[in-house]
Structure formats: C-alpha cells, structure tokens
C-alpha cells in the first residue's frame, strides 16, 4: 500500500473518530451541566442572574430558593407570617434571631457541654439551610461566599423580610 492510498483510507477514519469522540465528550459535559435542573435541585444565589431584577424580585428568589418559605409566609404587615412549622419553632423561642444567637452562644462552650436545646439549634441551623450563607467557624459566625453575595445585594435576612412584606 503506498502512502497516498493509506492516507485516503485512514484519514476519514481518523476524522470520524474525532467527531464521535467530540460528540460523546460534549454530551457528557452538557449532561453534567443540565443535571441540577433536571433533578430540580436548588441552584444557589451565585448562579442567579440579578441583572435588571428589582430588590423585590431578588428577595423573592432568595425566599423561594433558600428555605424561608418552610417557616414563613408573606404578609403586607412589614413582618413575615409563620407557617405551622414556623409557629412550632416560635413557641420554642427558636426564631431566626434566636437561632443565630444560640449558635454564637455554643461557640464559647465545648460541644460535650451543649444543652439538649443548644444541640437541636445547631442541627436546625444546618437542616434549614442557614449554613449555606452563615459560616459557623470555631470562634465566630461569618458569611460563606453565597452569604457574602446576599450581603452585597443588600439581602440580609431582615432585608429580605422588609423588602417582601411591605
């Protein structure tokens, strides 16, 4: 077989192999990208495009996507209302200000010495998605990257409240 003939046979193979490999690779990455949406997993504030959105729209997005609606309802009284779950928490003095205050309290105490209710609040702070924005470190509560973005957008928890419940 001479070189020219060899190339005429081998080249189409090579080209189609690269195309097929390329498509398979592209579909793989496309699938990865689509997965969160397909599985209907919440995207975070970092993925949310705030371009042209009003403060109210941004606050509503946070409310809908970061768990506030599990305990709160929207009102026009200036403050959130409470769902049955929220009411249950409020009776145990476990509102948002109380939860955050308790988390701070626990930082000064060794974990073995936490009371039952302190333990519960630390668990709830994780379970209710607070840690997505509030970074509980060994000596203080700071903000995660998502929390920092919320702060930058002027969307602290009380600002989400006051923006939505007017």
Positions touching ligand HEC (CB under 6 A) are 45, 62, 66-68, 70-72, 79-80, 82, 86, 89-90, 95-97, 99-100, 128-130, 132-134, 143, 146-147, 150-151, 156-158, 160-161
**123/114 Cα distance (integer angstroms):** 12
**SS3 (DSSP) at 151:** helix
Minimum CB separation of residue 17 from ligand HEC in Å reads: 47
Q: Which residue's structure tokens are 């097929």?
A: 20
CA-wise closest residue to 149 among 40, 49, 69? 49
27 vs 158, which CB is nearer to ligand HEC? Answer: 158
Tokens of 61: 């997005």
Q: How near is the Cβ of 77 to ligand HEC at its closest, in Å? A: 9
Q: Quickly count: other Cβ atoms within 10 Å of residue 95's Cβ.
A: 16
User: Least distance in Å: CB of 137 to ligand HEC?
Assistant: 13
Instruction: Determine if residue 68 is left, alpha or beta; phi over 0 gives left, psi from -120 to 50 gives alpha, anything else beta.
Output: alpha
| CB-nearer residue toward ligand HEC: 11 or 154 | 154
- Minimum CB–partner distance for residue 63 and ligand HEC (Å): 6
Integer Cα distance of 117 and 119 in angstroms: 5
State which residue, 60 or 161, has the beta carbon closest to ligand HEC.
161
Closest-by-Cβ residue to ligand HEC is: 95
């Amino acid at each position: 077989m001479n070189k020219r003939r060899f190339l005429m046979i081998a080249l189409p193979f090579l080209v189609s192999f690269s195309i097929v490999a390329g498509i398979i690779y592209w579909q793989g990455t496309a699938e990865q990208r689509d997965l969160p949406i397909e599985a209907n997993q919440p995207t975070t504030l970092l993925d949310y495009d705030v371009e042209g959105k009003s403060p109210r729209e941004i606050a509503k997005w946070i409310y809908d996507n970061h768990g506030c609606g599990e305990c709160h309802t929207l009102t026009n009284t200036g403050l959130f209302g409470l769902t049955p779950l929220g009411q249950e928490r409020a009776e145990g003095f476990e509102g948002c200000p109380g939860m955050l205050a308790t988390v701070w309290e626990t930082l000064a105490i060794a974990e073995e010495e936490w009371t039952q209710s302190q333990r519960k609040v630390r668990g709830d702070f994780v379970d209710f998605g607070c840690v997505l924005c509030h970074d509980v470190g060994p000596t203080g509560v700071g903000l995660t990257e998502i929390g920092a973005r919320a702060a930058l957008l002027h969307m602290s928890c009380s600002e989400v409240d006051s923006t939505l419940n007017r």
